[in-house]
Every structure is written in structure tokens, then in C-alpha cells.
Amino acid sequence: MARTLATNELPPVSATQEIIEKSKDSIEKSPHPAYLHHLATQIQHNLQYQHSWSALTVHTHSPLTSVALPRPMISGLPPKRAYIHPDEQVAVIKEEHDTGKKIEQIPEREWVLPTHIKETFTLSSFAKVFNAIGVVPPGESSQDEYDEDDEKPVGHQWQGENRQKRLLLATLDEDSTVTYYIMHDGIVKPRQN
Amino acid sequence: MPHSSDLVAEPVPISLVAGRYLLYDIDVVTYLRRTHNICGVLIGGIPQAPQQNVFQGLPLELLPEEAKLLVDQNIGYVVDDAAWHENHYTTLHGKDRQNYLESLRAQGLKASQALNAVARQKQEKALARQAIVRATKSADSEREEIGGASPSKDTDKMTPTEAENPSSRPISPAPSDVSKFSSRAWDASKPLAMTPSTSYNSSSLPRNPNPPPVPIAPASYPLFAHLHARKYFMMPGLRFGCNYNVYPGDPLRFHSHFLATSYGWNEEIAMLDLVGGGRLGTGVKKGFLIGGEDVESEGEGDLVRTFVLEWAGM
């Protein structure tokens, strides 16, 4: 008797489901529909457990204007630099060659835009997303702030607030695969050419 | 060093033939490429190699975007070729006709003289070389006192120039003076038959009394103009399934940086297209560039907004 009952029981909830359950209260208060939150949660889960990102935050409001974002977005810290500008790479290699010392690439906080493969976007909606976010996501950065007087590190022209506005376009497929693309606001030359 | 393309005067005529915008003047083609980043596509067969289509020659076909840009910026103007020829050559009588034929003859004469000068130079060089060979040979034979063998050798051997150009090979074994050469040289007084690649001088062509309308460019024109204003070179993007291949400099010197696709401001873009374009671009070491004109903005001037996608490597 106990065995037949067991087949009617639901299997244990998945890790993603647990996160969704836990965030139920905050979703109800959010300006965005629940499915967008679930999408963000799933991307966040993928970043955290598959790509070892840390300091992940879901943003519902623009850090610039405090108006609601077009959809919930994620910011986080990748385990290593997600993007190095080709000119920065050249400068770093040159400096390493000249001094013989290796230059550490400290990861920077990145914006992530969760999307689903079955969705459609428009240039206008991308523009709205970019207009609503700052160059660097708010929050703790592992990068040490350098003083004005200090010698600026090699490649600082392409780091922090000096970098071109960018985000990671995370696209979720039906089978929960996620692909990530670097998307720049404006023309930025490719990394390898 | 001055080039003949430096003498091109703006605005240049663009021939409209059967709905295509064509350039027939090599100087104009070079000038536009050098000064205005306009590449176009060469579509003419090469007479010496008619069986291949890897390397093409004149005429150069311009994209409608390129033609529109040139007209908009007053660098070029469109001439309806058929109408112009009909109008011009049916009214070409009497003195005008004589003048035209005379100008053709003068051009032919100029070409003939130029060819003659080249041929002459070649022959003089060959003569000088022969003289040196003969001088060393005679000196050798005198020293070694071996007679009879060397003259026959002299006739067997040809100098490299003669081997390259058998028609200029002297009939007699060793001509000794230049006058013999010049008698066989090009008859410089006879004009060559000319087939001009353009039927008008680009500077002498009068403006159209009723010019054809400004070329109609596809919807991707704002993106084209935006990139062109930033000194990029554009080539047709068919081979990568996009609107344009975008080069940071002359395509003969650089690999392209972007695959550019234009979208309407509120045109729906499937995420799969972005993923596919981004992956193709990264696979060929380029960025996938999407862009279009912001029709909702109230700003002025260039309202094109662009985004570049690259695979994040994760």
C-alpha cells in the first residue's frame, strides 16, 4: 500500500525550482511578469553552477533612473575576465614582453540579459535595455580601486567606466542549454582578426 | 607621384544602363576607391582570359546604396546612358562629327607614339647589351686566338629581350647601327584604331537637362551611410548572408571586421538569427553587426544605432 502511494508522490524538487519557490514573494511585488523572473532565475542558476560566477544579483529597476527595466537583468562577477578588448590585449602583451612580468587580468562585473530562443527582439528593445543600464553594474567589485595619483594599470582605457557599454546576451533553449554572446552598444572591432 | 586618377573632376558621371549603375572609366573607379571608399564590383570579362570569372574587369557596377550616396554628397551624378547616346550621336553632324573623329585620331596617334617610344627604348637597351657582349667576346677571342668558332655562336644566341619578343628580332644576325632598328620600329605616324571605354570625357560632359531621379536604395541605406561616414569600406554581404561585409580599410589590404545586417527599428529579430549570425561571425573572426535607424528619436542627423555581437566563449 505504501509503495503504490509512493508512485503518486512528486519527485524531489530541482535546485532551480527551489530558487523559484524561494523568490515567490519578491516576484509578486515585481513590475515584471513571473515568466521573465523565472527566465532570469534559470540563467542565474546556469551562471552560478555551470560557469562559477559569483556575486549574482537580479535587477528589476534601472540603476540610473530607478525606472523599471524592460525585463529583470542579472549582474555578476565571472571567474575570469569575460571580455578583453583587442587593443588592450596588444597593450598587455607588449607590456609583458617589455617588463617580463605577467599582468593579471582581474575579472570585471558584467551585465547579463536573459532571453529565450523562441522570443523576438527589436533594435528598439535592445536600445531601451542599453539606455537603462550603466557601463559597470552597481555592486562590489573585486577590482582594487586605484587612486588618481597612482600609476594607472596597463589597459585601464578599456576597463571599468572607460569600457564601451556591453552586456552578455544569454539565450536559453528549450533543453535548458544557455549560450552567451557579448553584445556591445556601438561599433567595437572583433577580438581576433 | 601624381596619378591619372588625381585629375578626375567631381562630380563624376555614373552611367545608368538597364537599371544598373556602372562606371566605365578606370580613372574614376580608382579615384572613388581611393578618395571616397567606394568599392563597387567589377563585372566585365577580361579579353585575355574570357573563360574565368575570378578576376573581372571594367565596367564596375555600383550598389544602389553607393550610387545614392555619391549623388547625395554631390560626388557623382547619374546619366541615362541610352538616352544620352541617342541624343548625342543622332545630332552629331558636319563639323561636330569631324571634330569627334579628329579627337579619336589624335588619341590613336598618341597611343601609337607611346607604343613606339616603349619599343624604341627596348631596342636600344638590347643593342647596348649586344654591344657589350660583342666587345667582351672579341676581346676574348683575340686573347685566346681561336678564330671561326665565335661568330657562329654569335648568331645562335639571342639576348633575353629578343627571346621575349621574337617580332623585334633582327633578320640580319647583328645589326650594327640604330638606324636599321628604327626602320623596323613602330610606324609612329600611323594612328592606332581606338575604342574608347567611355564615349565622353568625364569633365566635358554637360549636365543632364532632365536628370534621372536619385537612385532608390534598399532599406539598409541608413546603416550603409552610417558605416561609410565612419570611413569603413563596404562590399556586398551575400557570401556571409548579411547586407554588407564591413572592412576597416581597403578590402585589398584588410580582412573585414563585421558582417552587417540592417533591421527596421521595430522589426522583430528572432533570437535564433542573432545566435546564428553571432556564431558565423565569430567562426570567421568577425563581429556580427546589427543596426538601423532610430525612427522614434527626435534628434537630428545620423540616428543609426548599432550593436555588435561576438561569441562570449562560454
Phi and psi based region of residue B261 (left: phi greater than 0; alpha: psi -120 to 50; beta: remaining): beta
**Cβ-based neighbours of B180, under 8 Å, separated by 6 or more:** B170, B172
Question: How much is the mean pLDDT over chain B?
Answer: 81
The whole-angstrom distance between B215's CA and the closest CA on chain A is 27
The whole-angstrom distance between A71's CA and the closest CA on chain B is 16
Q: Is B255 a catalytic residue?
A: yes
| A100 Cβ under 8 Å from any chain B Cβ | no
Helix/strand/coil for B298: coil
- Could you tell me the sign of the dihedral formed by the alpha carbons of B50, B53, B58, B59, in that order? positive
Please report the pLDDT score of residue B64 as a whole number: 92
Q: For residue A4, is it within any domain?
A: no
ipTM: 0.85
| Helix ranges restricted to H, A100-193 | 123-132
The grid coordinates listed for B102 are: 579628329
Q: Is B85 a catalytic residue?
A: no
- Give me the domain span that covers residue A29: 15-140+154-184
Q: Chains A, B: CB contacts under 8 A, how many?
A: 104
**Eight-class DSSP state of B51:** T
Task: Give the mean pLDDT of A47-70.
Answer: 89
How distant is the alpha carbon of residue B117 from its chain centre? 25
Give the integer Cα–Cα distance in Å for B275 and B269.
11
The whole-angstrom distance between A127's CA and the closest CA on chain B is 8
| A83 Cβ under 8 Å from any chain B Cβ | yes
Q: Is B286 a catalytic residue?
A: yes
Please determine, for residue B147, whether its predicted confidence score (pLDDT) is greater than 70.
Answer: no
Q: pLDDT digits over A145-193, tens only? A: 554 555 677 778 888 888 899 999 999 999 989 999 999 999 999 987 6
Domain covering B218-314, topology: Trna Endonuclease; Chain: A, domain 1 (3.40.1350)
Strands B12-17 and B20-23: antiparallel
Task: Give the mean pLDDT of A113-128.
Answer: 94
Please determine, for residue B160, whether its predicted confidence score (pLDDT) is greater than 50.
Answer: no
**Among A93-97, B1-5, B118-122, which stretch is predicted with the lowest mean pLDDT?**
B1-5
Facing residue for B271 by CB, picked from A117, A180, A185: A117
Please report the pLDDT score of residue B197 as a whole number: 73
Strands (E) located in chain A: 54-61, 68-77, 110-116, 120-121, 166-172, 178-185
Please determine, for residue B238, whether its predicted confidence score (pLDDT) is greater than 60.
Answer: yes
Interface test with A, best of B242, B245, B271 (most A CBs within 10 A): B271
Q: For residue A83, is it within any domain?
A: yes
Question: Total structural domains in chain A?
Answer: 1
Facing residue for A181 by CB, picked from B248, B305, B311: B311
Q: Is the peptide bond before A79 cis (omega within 30 degrees of 0)?
A: no
- Letter string b/e over residues B205-240, b meaning 16 or more CB atoms within 10 A of that residue's CB: beeeeeeeeebebeebbbbbbbbbeeebbbbbbeeb
Nearest partner of B291 among B216, B222, B236, judged by Cα: B222
Q: For residue A165, is it within any domain?
A: yes
Chain B positions touching A189 (Cβ under 8 A) are 248, 257, 287
Domain residues of chain B, as ranges? 1-91+206-216, 94-184, 218-314
Cα dihedral angle (A128, A133, A135, A138), rounded to 10 degrees? -170
| B281 Cβ under 8 Å from any chain A Cβ | yes
Task: Give the mean pLDDT of A85-112.
Answer: 89
Nearest partner of B165 among B121, B133, B113, B131, judged by Cα: B121
Domain covering B1-91+206-216, topology: MutS, DNA mismatch repair protein, domain I (3.40.1170)
| A32 Cβ under 8 Å from any chain B Cβ | no
Q: What percent of chain A has pLDDT over 90?
A: 37
Residue type, B134: R
Chain A positions touching B268 (Cβ under 8 A) are 120-122
